[in-house]
Structure 1
Amino acid sequence: MSTPRFRKWPISLIVLLLGNMAYAGQTFQHQGTPPQLIELYTSEGCSSCPPADRYLSSLVDSPKLWKRIIPMAFHVDYWDYIGWKDRFAHPSYKQRQYDYRAFGKLKSVYTPGWVVDGKEWRGFFQGRSLPSMPQRSGDKLTAELDQGNLDIHFEKNGFGSQLTAHVALIGFDQQSSVTAGENRGKTLSHQFVVLNKQQKTSTGSQWLFEIPESDISKKTALAIWITKPDMQVLQATAGWID
């Protein structure tokens, strides 16, 4: 029996090729009422965060996923000092919370903290359902992903000011065995983890991003959204990366 040629290739090259194939020829698009962005600010060093993480994770099975809701977990780093460094945390995620507060959309910065449709949501702590999404118009947003390059186009009718395009690479089925801090001895499971977040501001209607490679053994998704200078979402789209 002959041996397929690719088996003679270096393993690193095969992984690289598979990674690039996963980012080839895919379109993300939405028009009309924007999907609802559900943002959870969390930390593996926070003992009150696991219940919020589990609630967010339950949305994986929602029929509304990607079409009407886009959940994301931003891990912050301001609890790292108590003994456990959250490997998913990034300073820019903490800054995002502070930016929301600067625009009057958050009363304070804390975890677990929820921002839904650009506004602070405390209903989680009273066991309430997510707020309903207001119906509003939204222009067409299209993003083409090819070989790791993401080309975004937004038909920004009526918006003359600078707009910001945001892109988040979202990871699933992530686990951490915590050995220090408030969650010491626990194994934490996460869905909708923001693994990488980028943004660019422009007066135009087109943006280009380079999407970093991810672990091809786990599910990943991509979220793209456009905001005004005050962080108000004008349009968004998201979906699984094939």
Structure 2
Amino acid sequence: MLKLPGLPAFLVLVAIASSSSARAQIFQSDAVATPLIELYTSEGCSSCPPAERWLSALKTDAGLWCKFVPVAFHVTYWDYLGWNDPFAQSGFTDRQRAYADAWNARSVYTPGFVHQGREWRPGNPVASPTTPGILTVERSAAGSGTVRFSPTSPVRQKTYTATIALLGSDVSIAVKSGENAGRSLPHDFIALHIATVALTAQPDGTFTGTFAAPPATLPSTPRRALAAWVSTTRDQTPLQATGGWLP
């Protein structure tokens, strides 16, 4: 898909001509890497609210979606303290543990930040940006869509996987038990649902795939966004990311 001159690289809105006048959104990165910032958190962790406030402040940062893509993964391993985090999923815990294994870390913890696949503290220096290629996601009004990754230097023997995440923001939860009992916790960029897509190599050197709409049973949130990133099949480290707010 060609980038349109004069329009923001990270988000292009296009109207699709159809009898239902449905609208699709196109999210697109530049060739230079847009880092994925991951926060591993839990409502059962008394140390997490300051980290979540930091993440929430990114809503007004000019670099949001074009300079970085934030995602908050709520983990399950603090639920035993007496409060079941309503946004926690075992798959998110598994993702954090996979990072720990890759880093030869002895354990996982919250709050835990990951910047482009590396353990990180906000404000710490990060590696110089790379130029992995352009990631494009087209999402229909119904929530399904297509993914295209155009590597800067195509390598035929590599295989890629794309992850599409539906995010919730402007959420506030009254915690009634556990370490944060009695507190009202605000949340933003919560991962509500993720879909993993194996991308198929095309003759033109790009890699493409499709994803289904998320379940209709997901928690309702005042504001939603989409985040997407691409990795090699055997390594979950994000190579490129894109995203934006949904209507």
Structure whose residues are more often helix by fraction: 1
Q: Please state how far the C-alpha of 1:132 moved relative to its aligned partner.
A: 3.9
The root-mean-square deviation of aligned C-alpha atoms, in Å, is 2.0
1:38 and 1:69 in contact (8 A); partners too: yes
Aligned-partner residue type, residue 150 of structure 1: G
Structure 1 106/237 Cα, relative in aligned 2: closer, same or farther at 3 Å?
farther
Unaligned runs of 5+ in 1: 1-20
Q: Distance in 2 between matches of 1:182 and 1:165?
A: 36
Give the CA deviation at 1:134.
1.8
User: Using a 3 Å threshold, how does the CA distance of structure 1 residues 240 and 133 change in structure 2: closer, same or farther?
Assistant: farther
Report the Cα distance in structure 2 between the residues aligned to 1:26 and 1:224, rounded to whole angstroms.
13
Partner residue of 1:81? 80
Total equivalences in the alignment: 216
Once residues 170 and 176 of structure 1 are traced to their aligned partners in structure 2, the CA distance between those partners, rounded to angstroms, is 16
| Cα distance in 2 between the residues matched to 1:215 and 1:24 | 23
> Separation in 2 of the partners of 1:238 and 1:179?
33
Aligned partner of 1:175 among 166, 172, 175: 172
Amino acid at match of 2:143: G
Rounded to whole Å, the distance in 1 between the matches of 2:36 and 2:131 is 16
Q: Indicate the residue corresponding to 2:213 in structure 1.
A: 211
1:217, distance to aligned residue in structure 2 (A): 6.7
Deviates more, 1:47-56 or 1:192-201: 192-201
1:204-235, CA deviations, whole angstroms, 9 ceiling, x for partnerless residues? 32111123256777221101111012223222
Partner Cα separation in structure 2 for residue 68 and residue 106 of structure 1: 28
Query: TM-score if structure 2 supplies the norm length?
Result: 0.81
Bigger mean CA offset, 187-196 vs 130-139? 130-139
1:155 corresponding residue in structure 2: 150
Matches within 5 A, 1:187-206: 187-204=184-201, 205-206=207-208
Which 4+ residue blocks in structure 1 deviate beyond 4 angstroms? 213-217
Letter in 1 for 2:186: S
Larger mean Cα displacement after TM superposition, 98-107 or 54-63: 98-107
Question: Looking at CA atoms only, which structure, 1 or 2, has the larger radius of gyration?
Answer: 1
Residues 39-118 of structure 1: matches in 2 within 5 Å?
39-104=38-103, 106=105, 108-118=107-117
Comparing 155-164 and 82-91, the one that deviates more: 155-164
CA 1:173–1:159 in 2, change beyond 3 Å: closer, same or farther?
farther
SS of the residue 1:155 aligns to: strand
Partners of 1:215 and 1:230 in 2: CA distance: 30
Paired residue for 2:129?
135
CA contact (8 A) 1:117 1:133 kept: no
Partner of 1:38: 37
TM-score, normalised on structure 1? 0.82
Consecutive unaligned residues of structure 2, counting only runs of 5 or more, are 1-19, 202-206
